Structure 1
Amino acid sequence: MKYDITTNKVPEMPNLGKGTECIKLLLTQASKDMHEPLVPMLFPSLGAHISGAEFQYPDRSWKEMCGQMANLVGGSGCNKGQLTELTKAICRDFSLHDETEMKKLREWAKISNSKSKSKDGPVKPDTPIFLPPANTTSAGFLENAIALETAGGRTQLFNFPEVEMADQLCGSHKYMSHLLRNIYDMAQAGALRATANGVSGNPTLRACITLSGVPVTVRKFYKNELHNGTFGRMVFSYKPREATRSGHIPRRGEFADNFYQQLDTYMARLDMTKGRFIIRPLNKLIDRLAQDMATLADLVDDDVLWDVSKRSLVSAWKAGCILWVLNTQTWTKAMGELVEWLVYHDLWSKMQIFADMLKDGDVNIQETSKAGPKNMLDSLPNNFNEAQLEALRLESGKNKEGTKAQLRQWVHRKFIEYSAQTGLYSKTEAYLKGNS
C-alpha cells in the first residue's frame, strides 16, 4: 500500500503529471494551502458536464458520471470558499444556459398572470436548470429533475457553502439521508407529481453535489448517517488545522481571460462525450486497489473501513473516467497515481473526522477524531505470540475471540509466518520491506 492512513499525517498528493493538466489549470486559481483539499471537490462539478455517456465499472455494471457527492471540511476561515469560486468557473456555461431558461420562465409568468382568469393561458415551458441555487426546495428539485430528463438526461449540480443547506433540498434533515442515497444510486424519484397540466414525474435523479462545513457542524450533520450507507457514498476532503499560525494571507488566482480560454477547451471535451466506454487501465487499477483495501482492513481488523472503502473506490473510479475524457480519452500513469491518492485521501479524511463516532457510536461532536484505524501488526514486535495480539486487541476495544481468525488472515496474506518450533509468529521479509 502506497499510503498510510493510520496516522494523523495527511496523505501527500502525487505530482500532477501528464494527463492531469485540467486539474493543474484549476489549481492555478486556488491558494497553495488549498490545493490538496480542493482536488477531490472538483470532480462532481466536472462530472455534471458529461451526459449521454456510460462507463463500465470492473463489476461490469454501466455507470453515468452523475451521483458524485463530496464534502469539504475545514476550520472557519480556512479558505473553503475557494470551492465556490472554482465551481462558478467550471460551470460558467451552466450559468449562461440557466439565465436563458429563467428568462423564458419569467416571460411565461408575466403572460400567465395577465391571463389568470382565462382558459387560454400559455403552457408553462420546460426550463431545465443546470446549476440551481442553494436554497432550492425539494419540490423545485423534483420539478427540475423532470425538466432535465426531458432535456436528454442532463445533470443538475448543487454547491452548498454550508452543509446544513442540504436539508432544505430534502425537505428536512429527516429525509436528507434517503435523498442523498437515491442521488448517488441514480434512482428514480419514486412518486408521481401532480402539476397544472396533469400528472407527471418519476424522473431519474441525476445530480452532483458539493458541500462545505466546519468539523463540528459536519459531525453533527452526519452523526445519524454513519451506518446506513449515506456516509460511505459521500467523498470527504479534510483540511486539518495548521500546526503553526502564519501571518501570511494566501493568494488566490485572478480568473483572467486566458484561464477561461484554456478551461473552455476542457469543458468542451466533457460536453461532447457520448456513448459507452470501457477504460481498461483504470479498471485494472481499481481491481488492484480493491485488493489493497482488503489488505488494509485485515491489518486494522475494521469492517467499517472495509465497507466504506468499496464506495471510495467507485468515487475515485468516476474521477478517473473524467480525467480520461479530459485527456482526450487517453490514460497515463500520472492519472492512475491521482486516482489511487483519491481513494486513500477520502478514507483518511473520513477517519480523521469520524473515527471515534464510527467505533463507539459516540455522539460527541465538539472535535474531529484523533484516533484513526490502527495497524495492529505494526504495533507488535517482529516476533510475537498469540497472547500478545490478544492483549493488543483488547486494548484496542476488540474482542479476544477474533484473535485466531486475524492470525489466520495475516498468515494467508503472507504478512506473518508461524514457527511450530518456537510457537511464535514472525513478520515476513515482504511485509517488513513493504512497510519500511
Structure 2
Amino acid sequence: MKKENKKMKKARKAAVKNVEKKAYQPLTWEEVFAGEQLPSLPSALPKMIDDTISQTPDLLKGTVAQVIPVAYSIYPRGLKFVYIDGRTREPRMNCLLVAKEGGGKECITLPIKHILAEVKENSRQDRQRLKEFNDKYSRARQDEEKPKRPDDLDIRWLFPDITRPRLSQAMEDAQGAFLFLKLNELEDWDKLEGAKGKSNSFSLMKLIDDEDNDFGQDRVGAQSVNADGCLRLNYIADSTETKLKKYFRYIHGEGPISRITLGGIPSVEIGAPIPVFGSYDKHYDDLIRPYIENLKKATGTILCKEALQMAETLKAEIDAFNSKTQDRILDTLSHRSLVAAFRRGCLIYAANGMEWEPEIEYFCRWSMQVDLYMKYKLFADDIRQANDCVKTDKPGPQSLLDKVTVNAQGEFSFDEVVRVYTESGKTPDEKRVRNVLNQWKARGFILQMTNDSYKKIS
C-alpha cells in the first residue's frame, strides 16, 4: 500500500473538516428564543477554543468556551481592530457565569490558571518586590534618603478586595496592558465601586467597557497614588439567577446589563455522574502556548475584513429578527452584544497569528446567541418595568408578523396590523405602523397589494 505523503494527509484532513463544516447548521434567532435551553456549542470550533476546552467534560464545554477568551485577552498590548462603524475596538472583555443554583463554577478554574500562569507568577513576584520596598520605606529614618519605588512592576492579576487607589496604581504600572480580575461572587464588585444597593451606580463597570476612558485620581503625599490614564480591566465573575436579578434591581435601564457578557452553568440532574476532567499538564500547556505567544506579539491597529464581514452578517441577522418583533429591549441589548462577539472574533484571529478560520464566525454567533438569550430571559421584563413599558411574561420576543391574521389568500389589511400593534402594547401611530410595513416589505417578508392591503411571503 502506498504511503500517504504530507500533501495527501493535509488534503484528507481538509476534506474531513469541510464535511464537518457542512454538517453544522447554526440556529436562527427564532429557534434560539423558542428554545427552553441555551444554544448548544457548535460542532465545528476555532482551533484555539477547541484546544483550550479539550480537557473539559462535554457537559461543561460551553461554559468554559464562553469564559476563556477573557483570560487570553490579557496578553495583547496596544492591539485594536477597526469595527463596522469605522472606530477601533480593543479586546475589552468580561464574562459573568450564571447558574440556577450555586455550584459548577470550578470548571473554569484550571483553564484560566494555565492560560494566565505567566501573568499570575509575574504578579506574585512583583507583589513581593513591592512589599520589600514598602518595608524599607517604612523603616527608613527621617534623616535618611528614602528608597525609590520600582518602576517596572507588573502586577496585573488582581484580587477582589482591591481598592480604587490600588487599581489606579496598577493601571499606571501596567503601561497600557490589561489587568485581570476574577471575582468569586459578583457582589465583590461593590468593593471596587465603593458603594452598594441603591447608591451603587456601577460607574466603573460602565467605564471599563468604553474605549479611551479616563480614569485616575490625585492625592497629596509622598506615597499617595497619583494616576491618570485609560483603564483596561477585564474580569470574570459568577452568580445565581436570583442573586443576579437582585444585584441589578435598581439599575435595569441604565447600562451595566448591556455591558456584561453572560454565560451559563448547566444544572446537573440529581444523582447524575460526576463530570470527569482530563489532564491539565505540560502537554496542555504546550497546546495553548502558541496562542499566548501570538497574542503577546499582537499590537497595532488591524483591519480584518473577515471580522468586519462577520459583524455585518450577525447584525443583518439580528436586525431581520428585530424587524419582525419590533422589540426595543432586544434591539438595545443587541448592540453591545454584537461588539462583544466582534471583539472575541478578533482576539481568536490574533491568537491564530492573524489568520482567519470560518469556525470563528460559528463560535461568535453562538456566543452572541447565548448572551442575548440569557439577558432577555433574565432582564427584559425588568427593563420594561423600569422604562414604564408594558410588562410581558412571554419567554422571548414575539414576531408581530406571526400574529397578523390573514385570509385564505394569505392577505391582510393595514387595520389588522394596527390591531396587532395595539394588542402588543405599542402605540398604533399610523406613521410608525407604515414604517414597520415598509421594513417588512424591504426585507422580503411581505408584498404590498394595494395601498392598504398586503400579502405574507412564505
The reply to whether TM is greater than 0.5 is: yes
Q: Which residue of 2 aligns with 1:165?
A: 188
Q: 1:28 to 1:262 in 2, by over 3 A?
A: same
CA distance in 2, matches of 1:393, 1:240: 37
CA distance in 2, matches of 1:253, 1:169: 35
Q: Normalization by structure 1: what TM-score?
A: 0.88
Q: Secondary structure at the match of 1:330?
A: coil
Per the TM alignment, residue 277 of structure 1 is displaced from its structure 2 partner at its CA by: 1.3
Aligned counterpart in structure 1 of residue 448 of structure 2, from 399, 418, 422:
418
Q: Secondary structure at the match of 1:228?
A: coil
Q: Which residue of 2 aligns with 1:15?
A: 43
CA distance in 2, matches of 1:416, 1:193: 64
Greater alpha carbon shift after TM alignment, 338-347 vs 2-11:
2-11
CA deviations on 1:277-322 (whole Å, 9 max, x unpaired) are 1110110121222222322221111122212211111111110111
Written as runs of structure 1 = structure 2, the 5 A alignment for 1:143-162 is: 143-149=169-175, 153-162=176-185
Written as runs of structure 1 = structure 2, the 5 A alignment for 1:192-231 is: 192-196=218-222, 200-231=226-257
Q: Which residue of 1 aligns with 2:400?
A: 376
Q: Secondary structure at the match of 2:34?
A: coil
Q: 1:25 to 1:16 in 2, by over 3 A?
A: same
Q: Which residue of 2 aligns with 1:102?
A: 127
Greater alpha carbon shift after TM alignment, 317-326 vs 374-383:
374-383
Q: Normalization by structure 2: what TM-score?
A: 0.84
Kindly indicate whether the alpha-carbon contact (under 8 Å) linking 2:110 and 2:280 is maintained by their aligned counterparts in 1: no
Q: Which has the larger radius of gyration?
A: 2
Per the TM alignment, residue 407 of structure 1 is displaced from its structure 2 partner at its CA by: 2.4
Q: Which residue of 1 aligns with 2:436?
A: 406
Q: Which residue of 1 aligns with 2:23?
A: none
Q: Which residue of 1 aligns with 2:15?
A: none
CA distance in 2, matches of 1:62, 1:330: 19
Per the TM alignment, residue 387 of structure 1 is displaced from its structure 2 partner at its CA by: 4.2
Per the TM alignment, residue 190 of structure 1 is displaced from its structure 2 partner at its CA by: 5.2
Report the AA paired with residue 40 of structure 2: E
Q: Which residue of 2 aligns with 1:366?
A: none
CA deviations on 1:63-109 (whole Å, 9 max, x unpaired) are 222x3122111123441222233222211111111122012112112
Kindly indicate whether the alpha-carbon contact (under 8 Å) linking 2:169 and 2:226 is maintained by their aligned counterparts in 1: no
Q: Which residue of 1 aligns with 2:16?
A: none
Q: Secondary structure at the match of 1:55?
A: strand
- Provide the identity percentage: 21
Written as runs of structure 1 = structure 2, the 5 A alignment for 1:306-321 is: 306-321=331-346
Kindly indicate whether the alpha-carbon contact (under 8 Å) linking 2:93 and 2:235 is maintained by their aligned counterparts in 1: yes
CA deviations on 1:169-217 (whole Å, 9 max, x unpaired) are 1212345521112111141115434452577311210111111100011
Q: 1:85 to 1:362 in 2, by over 3 A?
A: farther
Written as runs of structure 1 = structure 2, the 5 A alignment for 1:1-400 is: 2-4=28-30, 5-9=32-36, 10-17=38-45, 20-65=46-91, 67-126=92-151, 127-149=153-175, 153-173=176-196, 174-175=199-200, 177-186=202-211, 187-189=213-215, 191-196=217-222, 200-239=226-265, 241=267, 245-361=270-386, 371-381=395-405, 383=410, 384-400=412-428
Per the TM alignment, residue 261 of structure 1 is displaced from its structure 2 partner at its CA by: 1.8
Report the AA paired with residue 113 of structure 1: S
Kindly indicate whether the alpha-carbon contact (under 8 Å) linking 1:54 and 1:276 is maintained by their aligned counterparts in 2: yes
CA distance in 1, matches of 2:35, 2:377: 7
Greater alpha carbon shift after TM alignment, 115-124 vs 342-351:
115-124
CA deviations on 1:119-143 (whole Å, 9 max, x unpaired) are 4121222433111112212221112
Q: Secondary structure at the match of 2:318?
A: helix
Q: 1:238 to 1:299 in 2, by over 3 A?
A: farther
CA distance in 2, matches of 1:253, 1:322: 26
CA distance in 2, matches of 1:103, 1:39: 33
Kindly indicate whether the alpha-carbon contact (under 8 Å) linking 1:131 and 1:156 is maintained by their aligned counterparts in 2: yes
Per the TM alignment, residue 267 of structure 1 is displaced from its structure 2 partner at its CA by: 1.0
Per the TM alignment, residue 396 of structure 1 is displaced from its structure 2 partner at its CA by: 3.1
Kindly indicate whether the alpha-carbon contact (under 8 Å) linking 1:84 and 1:159 is maintained by their aligned counterparts in 2: no
Q: 1:359 to 1:180 in 2, by over 3 A?
A: same
Greater alpha carbon shift after TM alignment, 326-335 vs 78-87:
78-87
CA distance in 1, matches of 2:321, 2:87: 25
Report the AA paired with residue 140 of structure 1: R
Report the AA paired with residue 23 of structure 1: I
- Cα root mean square deviation, aligned: 2.5
Kindly indicate whether the alpha-carbon contact (under 8 Å) linking 1:71 and 1:236 is maintained by their aligned counterparts in 2: yes
Q: 1:195 to 1:38 in 2, by over 3 A?
A: farther
Q: 1:198 to 1:345 in 2, by over 3 A?
A: closer
Kindly indicate whether the alpha-carbon contact (under 8 Å) linking 2:405 and 2:416 is maintained by their aligned counterparts in 1: no
Kindly indicate whether the alpha-carbon contact (under 8 Å) linking 2:74 and 2:234 is maintained by their aligned counterparts in 1: yes
Q: Secondary structure at the match of 1:81?
A: helix
Task: List alignment gaps of at least 5 residues for structure 2.
Answer: 1-26
Per the TM alignment, residue 424 of structure 1 is displaced from its structure 2 partner at its CA by: 4.5
CA deviations on 1:361-408 (whole Å, 9 max, x unpaired) are 399xxxxx8622112223445634444444433443333335443223
CA distance in 2, matches of 1:74, 1:390: 40
Greater alpha carbon shift after TM alignment, 188-197 vs 86-95:
188-197
Kindly indicate whether the alpha-carbon contact (under 8 Å) linking 1:352 and 1:370 is maintained by their aligned counterparts in 2: no
Q: Which residue of 1 aligns with 2:17?
A: none
CA distance in 1, matches of 2:138, 2:216: 32
